[in-house]
Structure 1
Amino acid sequence: MSRIMVIGSLNMDIVSRVENYPLPGETIKGIKTDVNPGGKGANQAVAIARAGGNVSMVGAIGTDVFGDQLLEALQQENIETNNIIRKEGTSGLAVITVDSKGSNSIILLEGANGLLSMDDLTDILPEAIKDPANIFLLQNEVPWETTKNIIESLSASNASIYLNPAPAQHIPTEIISKLTGIFLNEIEATIITGLSVIDQESASAAAEKLIAYGVTEVIITLGEKGSLYRDFREHVYFTPGRKVNAMDTTAAGDTFIGAYLASKQQGYSIEASLEYATAAAALTVSREGAQKSIPYQEEILQFLT
């Protein structure tokens, strides 16, 4: 079976819940603190595995105890981890504070993620592209220079390359043209295309612009409203969101991306993959947390019936 290779970040999320944020210089008592694996790359790898896909993870962890925990969490999901590199120092950390109103503030410490370089992939990429059916998925939580070089290298071999440009930043059109697919939310689509993306109509215009840059397929997620798909053959699908009691939107986008690629890997049609991904993301927002909220294949299928 082909493999989806996720090249990206691994973070430990330290989430503290408080009644109200402290004022400068103030010490307050927290309600509770949770420590859970996260990072966009790792979240998407877990989403692929739980949705029934065959996945391997490429990234960097530190020599701290968090590195051991991040590695173990992926292995428990049957994700292949042989290409995760140890870097001297700390693993990536996300220090998150959530108040009683549900708003959050996040301090992202890239740690080992910021040290991932093209040199680390010298032996990994040539081996991975030997199977033309393999799919590569990247995000923006490792150095952009590394991500750009990976895309250029894979493109020269006509590999299937998907990018989730999050956190949002401008992506050169010559890089977009090398992609098989790009996943964006409204903010990312707005920043990259320069068009204000707020609904189905504006998402369609943004997707059309991205297709003109040369990417094969575009998926723009619109939160609870659903998602818009467009490809170079002018196939356009709008998939409405599924109504659930939303508790926490963390990892919803990562779940959508992982479930979509996992279902395509299993031979689903585009429309069926979009429905599957939409259902998976809806289940995620109905639960608290990042990786722990991502549903398994049997849950998604049951939700679809």
Structure 2
Amino acid sequence: MARVLVTGFITIDFIAHVEGFASTAVPEQASDLDVACGGRAANQAMALTAIEGEVSLLARVGTDEHASLLTEELLEIGVGTEFVQQAPSPTGIRLIAEQADGERQVTVFRGANDFLSVDDLNRRAEAIRSVDAVGVTTEPAGAVALRALEIAGQGNIPTVLTHGASAKPVSDRLLANASVVVTSDTTCSGLLDPGVAKEHPEAALRALVQRGATAVVLLTATRALLATADDVREVASPGRLDTEDAVDAFVAGMLQGLAEGEALEPAVLRGVRTGCLLVD
């Protein structure tokens, strides 16, 4: 069976469901509160189990009760946690205010995630090179994400680099080491200008290819755009692909396709189907 390894952040998410976002003067009252396993890498690993993929997560948690809750939840749904290590810090937390339309305001406490290091990856190099596809996120330090891509590249393992909204820029070297880079037009800050991504997506993608990316996928509300040095192709989607959850589900499907030996475009098609299947 094809195997996937994903590395990046894992957090415990506290999600408050609200009608609107609070002003500085008036607190917003939440109608409900959910507690869930989160972080982009953990989300992708969980989505892979939902499509019956075999996946392990390489990440850091703390030594608190949140760490136990997260690892137990991952194990229960079938995510391999043999590479989830404890760090001398509280487990990462995300505080999320979410409206009914899916729009979010997020505050992140990185916590134990900041202990994910190049040494962690070097110690797991053999395991990384033994799988069939590797997912990496831009959540950790750039050197950490780069090392994961480099190790996978040494074994000719296909890689997917997922970018989420961030204030920190993504280096050309990081882009060049990924088989494919994935982002959405709502979560691309730090990689693309969101306004340009929405108004001129093809041009934005070509700019990333010119920076050294082998292939880039931009997800929108209605389609996936795949850019390579040859052209920009479009895959229509019956459902939204631009939310964080949809992006992570898309990446899970794409990783599974690549792990099973699919070429890039069929893997993108699988990603679109998975994104629509797993996200309402």
TM-score range, shorter chain: 0.7 to 0.9
- Which residue identity lines up with residue 221 of structure 1 in the other structure? L
- Give distance in 2, aligned partners of 1:250 and 1:265: 22
1:16 offset after TM fit, Å?
1.7
What TM-score do the two structures reach when normalised by structure 1? 0.79
- Give distance in 1, aligned partners of 2:238 and 2:202: 20
Q: How does 1:230-269 map to 2 (within 5 A)?
A: 230-232=227-229, 234=230, 236-243=232-239, 249-269=243-263
Please, which runs of 5 or more residues in structure 1 have no aligned partner? Answer: 287-305
Q: How does 1:176-215 map to 2 (within 5 A)?
A: 176-187=175-186, 191-192=190-191, 196-198=196-198, 202-215=200-213
Residues 152 and 175, structure 1, Cα contact 8 Å, conserved in 2: no
Corresponding position of 1:221: 219
1:70 matched to 2:70: yes
Q: How does 1:131-150 map to 2 (within 5 A)?
A: 131=130, 134-150=132-148
Output one character per residue of 1:187-232: Cα deviation in whole Å (capped at 9) or x when no partner: 5657435681225xx333333333333332221111x221111334
Residues 141 and 167, structure 1, Cα contact 8 Å, conserved in 2: no
Q: Per the alignment, do residues 73 and 235 of structure 1 end up closer, same or farther by CA in structure 2, a change over 3 Å counting?
A: farther
1:277 offset after TM fit, Å?
1.9
Q: Per the alignment, do residues 58 and 258 of structure 1 end up closer, same or farther by CA in structure 2, a change over 3 Å counting?
A: same
- Give distance in 2, aligned partners of 1:102 and 1:161: 28
- Give distance in 2, aligned partners of 1:250 and 1:179: 20
- Give distance in 1, aligned partners of 2:150 and 2:257: 26
Residues 134 and 158, structure 2, Cα contact 8 Å, conserved in 1: yes
- Give distance in 2, aligned partners of 1:206 and 1:23: 34
- Which residue identity lines up with residue 234 of structure 2 in the other structure? F
1:276 offset after TM fit, Å?
2.7
1:280 matched to 2:274: yes
- Give distance in 2, aligned partners of 1:19 and 1:196: 29
* Count of residue correspondences: 278
1:95 offset after TM fit, Å?
0.9
CA RMSD of aligned residues (A): 2.9
1:156 offset after TM fit, Å?
4.8
Residues 6 and 41, structure 2, Cα contact 8 Å, conserved in 1: yes
Output one character per residue of 1:11-55: Cα deviation in whole Å (capped at 9) or x when no partner: 111012345555557667542211111110000111222223221
Report the secondary structure of 1:238's partner residue: strand
Identity of aligned pairs, percent?
Answer: 21
What TM-score do the two structures reach when normalised by structure 2? 0.85
Residues 115 and 143, structure 1, Cα contact 8 Å, conserved in 2: no
